[in-house]
Amino acid sequence: MAAHDILSFLISGEWVSGEEMAKKLAISRAAVWKQVQILRQRGYEISSSTGKGYRLTKKIDLLDADRISRSLKTRWLGKDMRIYDKVSSTNAAALALVSSYPNGTVILAETQTDGRGRLSRPWASPPGGIWMSLVLKPIMPLNHVCQINMAVSVALCRALFSLYGLNAGIKWPNDLLIRDLKICGILMEVGAQVDRLDHAVVGLGLNANNDLSQFPAEWRSTSLAVELGHDIDRCDLICRILEEIEVAYENMGSNEILKEWRSRSLTLNRQVRITSAAGDLVGQAVDLAEDGALILQIGEQQKRVLAGDCIHLRATPAGATVEGR
């Protein structure tokens, strides 16, 4: 018996007697009281009254390891789960002990004090989002590592559609957009020996129940709460995300994942600007290669781009291009 069992009685917000819960759970009333205290320590607001019992006075959005573990229908992903109130970043926490973590370990945090995106750019991580890192240890050559990013991107899109009917698209190389607004970013950091992958830590930053005023305006962000008009249950979403990732991960490298990754692309057939250390390139995105490269048509030539910042451009009436969202 865990605190989650007590929470399942209280989730309705109605008064429930301690005697009733004790009887149905086959425990003592003192044990019920003890589990209520644990829930209060986790942040749940629970009132108590002689003759009435207990009542959840405010449903709060907390990452609850018991709830996630009990609902999670995976075989290996997330079976080792660490949830923190605050970390510098979940990727940093994962990388610090990556050699000791088993494949499939999941790190979650309510907030990050030093969240980061690609190229070490700061990533705002206020309460209400899903800030999560996965420790993955596949046996694969380094030149196949892009398959992990493809599988995770596809899985996230599947999760958002299956739970909420939202059609997210993939902006190359690692963002998810809804209505051309950023809903999620992916950051993968790898360790390798010679030409063999040792581990991959995949960080996900998903805007769930966030107040968008806490993000820089230039980020052009949205959240699930904004898109749906109400807050979502983050624990339910985390379970679905992990379940979809496990399925896609076990199928990565397949034609199915590659085809779906391409079909969900918001970058294909767009005029784009790619910024990298080698300089800027502007061209038409005409294809996505199996190794994750973006194929640009620049005049009469095609160029493969493996990495860089991608900016979607849109045409103006005069024929010039301006930055899109």
E-strand ranges in 44-195 read 45-49, 53-58, 81-87, 106-112, 130-136, 169-171, 175-178, 181-193
pLDDT tens digits, 59-85 = 677 888 888 998 999 999 999 999 998
pLDDT tens digits, 137-166 = 999 988 899 999 999 999 999 999 999 999
Fold of 271-323: SH3 type barrels. (2.30.30)
- Domain 65-263 in CATH 3.30.465.10? The answer is no
Residue 191 — pLDDT band, cuts 50, 70, 90? very high
Between CA 149 and CA 143 the distance in angstroms is 12
Residue 42: count other Cβ atoms within 10 Å of its Cβ. 15
pLDDT tens digits, 101-134 = 999 999 999 988 876 666 556 566 778 899 999 9
Which sequence spans correspond to the domains of the chain?
3-58, 65-263, 271-323
pTM flag (> 0.85): no
- Domain 3-58 in CATH 1.10.10.10? The answer is yes
214 vs 88 pLDDT, higher one: 88
Asked if 65-263 and 271-323 have one fold, the answer is: no
